[in-house]
């Protein structure tokens, strides 16, 4: 019986062409290899599940493939296959979270002097590099500053603020961005076709919304949905498993918010709560929809009806600010539902309020117009 492999591992990118949503990083690394301008240290920064470790391994394959370095290598090349399975002697992966002591870095510092055993380069991939201790960072500094020609470092981190500036300054830094939902959906559709899974577009959109820009998260969620549903996945299945609110209901709540319809708002919240929906995530979805309306208002001269009722940029901004300020009370408060309702009511009131400075401007403008109008009337009476 063959061992089961989760989708996130089975569909992990194996070549530069497989990497989704990080074209700026892929292009730079490919060009560096093609032009022989390979730096001795790279720092990959980005949210979880966006491809940092995968890119590090692909880069190691490009450096140590047969007849390499070359960007367009064959994924089935024995050297590349060995790197993919972690069996290549010259590609050393270190988990910074569990190997954060100075002893491991001292061992690394001793072994870098030896020539590669199989390939052209010794590649050290240090994942979660920000977890290394200060002593370990300091022990690494000298090696990083003047490494042997056959040694390359690739660091990956989700938290670059915790990496010493002296380390960062010795690396070429690449910032990986959250992967847009359309790219996640496209990738999942391809996986579904290969895995013989029938899944609706609305279900994939829900999964992409849940993944929040992380391809690995999306694939893990998709895997869980296959376990739950079998070979047919629909939007209600995803909504039920993860407590999501359907897109049309989010739009209805946003419309009630914009119209100031308190009764409709309370009814919709009751409905979502009774169905066991995640109100914290609903608040996040509501913020995203309100932000889209704000951008629409900015693009159309300061007014938008994207939420169903015409609102000014100022009104949408105040509404969004009230929703954002209420996050803490919904997440940490004793009654999630009550706090969520209060946040919505405050958002309505905020959108109806007027900023004092804008009122002063309007009154000043009216005051300036008044003398001119009076003078015009006087002239008419004389004639």
- Residues 294-345 pLDDT 10s: 999 999 888 888 998 889 998 999 999 999 988 888 888 778 899 999 999 9
CA 336 to each of CA 258, 341, 348: distance values in angstroms, whole numbers, following the listed order: 22, 9, 19
**Is the model more confident about 171 or about 353?**
171
Average pLDDT over residues 208-213: 90
Whether residue 4 has pLDDT greater than 90: no
CA distance 304 to 298: 8
- Residues 157-168 pLDDT 10s: 999 999 888 889
Average pLDDT over residues 49-70: 91
pLDDT for the residue 341: 92
Indicate the pLDDT class of residue 100, thresholds 50, 70 and 90.
Answer: low
Same-domain check for residues 211 and 316: no
Beta bridge partners of 95: 127
Round the average pLDDT of the chain to a whole number and report it. Answer: 87
What is the tally of structural domains in the chain?
3
In a domain, residue 315? The reply is: yes
In a domain, residue 374? The reply is: no
Out of 242, 259, 292, pick the residue that ends a domain.
242
Same-domain check for residues 233 and 132: no
**For the domain that residue 235 is a member of, what is the CATH number?**
1.10.8.60
Indicate the pLDDT class of residue 92, thresholds 50, 70 and 90.
Answer: confident
Whether residue 359 has pLDDT greater than 70: no
Same-domain check for residues 68 and 214: no
Ramachandran angles phi, psi of 17, nearest 5°: -65, -25
The two beta strands, 91-95 and 311-312, are unpaired
Same-domain check for residues 169 and 281: no
pLDDT for the residue 382: 60
3-state secondary structure of 175: strand
Full residue range of the structural domain in which residue 329 is found: 247-356
Average pLDDT over residues 335-357: 85
Across 80-141, the runs of DSSP E, i.e. the strands, are: 91-95, 122-127
**Is the model more confident about 201 or about 383?**
201
pLDDT for the residue 1: 42
Q: Among 24-33, 95-104, 126-135, 324-333, where is mean pLDDT lowest? A: 95-104
Same-domain check for residues 120 and 33: yes
Same-domain check for residues 37 and 165: yes
Whether residue 243 has pLDDT greater than 70: yes
CA 248 to each of CA 4, 225, 255, 267, 268: distance values in angstroms, whole numbers, following the listed order: 37, 22, 10, 15, 11
**Is the model more confident about 119 or about 73?**
73
Give the Cα-Cα-Cα angle 197, 200, 202 (nearest 5 degrees).
140
H or E, element range at 173: strand 172-175
pLDDT for the residue 374: 57
Same-domain check for residues 237 and 256: no
Q: Is 174 exposed, middle or buried (0-12, 13-18, 19+ CB in 10 A)?
A: buried
Kindly report the pTM of this predicted structure.
0.81
Task: Kindly give, in sequence order, each residue whose CB lies less than 8 Å from that of residue 207, ignoring residues fewer than 6 positions away.
Answer: 184, 185, 188, 218, 221, 222, 225, 238
**For the domain that residue 59 is a member of, what is the CATH number?**
3.40.50.300
**Is the model more confident about 354 or about 267?**
267
pLDDT for the residue 200: 92
Same-domain check for residues 83 and 156: yes
């Amino acid at each position: 019986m063959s061992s089961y492999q989760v989708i996130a591992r089975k569909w992990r990118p194996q070549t530069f062409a497989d990497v989704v949503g990080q074209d700026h990083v892929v292009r730079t690394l490919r060009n560096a290899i093609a032009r022989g301008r390979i730096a001795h240290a790279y720092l990959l920064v980005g949210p979880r599940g966006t491809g940092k470790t995968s890119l590090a391994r692909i880069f190691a394959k490009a450096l140590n493939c047969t007849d390499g370095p070359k960007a367009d290598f064959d994924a089935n090349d024995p050297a590349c296959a060995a790197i993919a399975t972690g069996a290549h002697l010259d590609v050393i992966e270190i988990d910074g979270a569990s190997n954060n002591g100075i002893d491991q870095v001292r061992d690394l510092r001793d072994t870098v002097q030896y020539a590669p055993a199989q390939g052209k380069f010794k590649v050290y991939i240090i994942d979660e590099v920000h977890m290394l201790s200060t002593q370990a960072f300091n022990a690494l500094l000298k090696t990083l500053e003047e490494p042997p020609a056959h040694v390359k470092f690739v660091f990956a981190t989700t938290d670059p603020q915790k990496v010493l500036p002296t380390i960062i300054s010795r690396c070429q830094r690449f910032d990986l961005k959250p992967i847009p939902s359309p790219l996640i959906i496209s990738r999942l559709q391809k996986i579904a076709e290969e895995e013989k899974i029938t899944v609706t577009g609305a279900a994939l959109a829900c999964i992409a919304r849940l993944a929040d820009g992380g391809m690995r998260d999306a694939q893990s969620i998709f895997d869980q949905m296959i376990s739950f549903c079998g070979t047919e996945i629909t939007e209600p299945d995803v909504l039920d498993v993860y407590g999501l609110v359907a897109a049309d209901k989010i739009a209805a709540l946003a419309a009630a918010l914009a119209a100031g319809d308190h009764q409709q708002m309370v009814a919709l919240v009751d409905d979502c709560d009774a169905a066991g929906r995640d109100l914290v995530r609903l608040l996040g979805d509501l913020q995203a929809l309100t932000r889209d309306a704000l951008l629409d208002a900015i693009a159309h001269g300061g007014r938008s009806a994207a939420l169903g009722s015409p609102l000014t940029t100022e009104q949408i901004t105040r509404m969004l600010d009230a929703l954002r300020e209420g996050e803490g009370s919904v997440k940490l408060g004793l009654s999630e539902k009550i706090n969520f309702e209060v946040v919505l009511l405050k958002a309505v009131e905020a959108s109806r309020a007027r900023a004092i400075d804008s009122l002063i401007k309007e009154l000043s403008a009216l005051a300036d117009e008044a003398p001119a109008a009076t003078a015009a009337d006087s002239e008419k009476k004389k004639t």
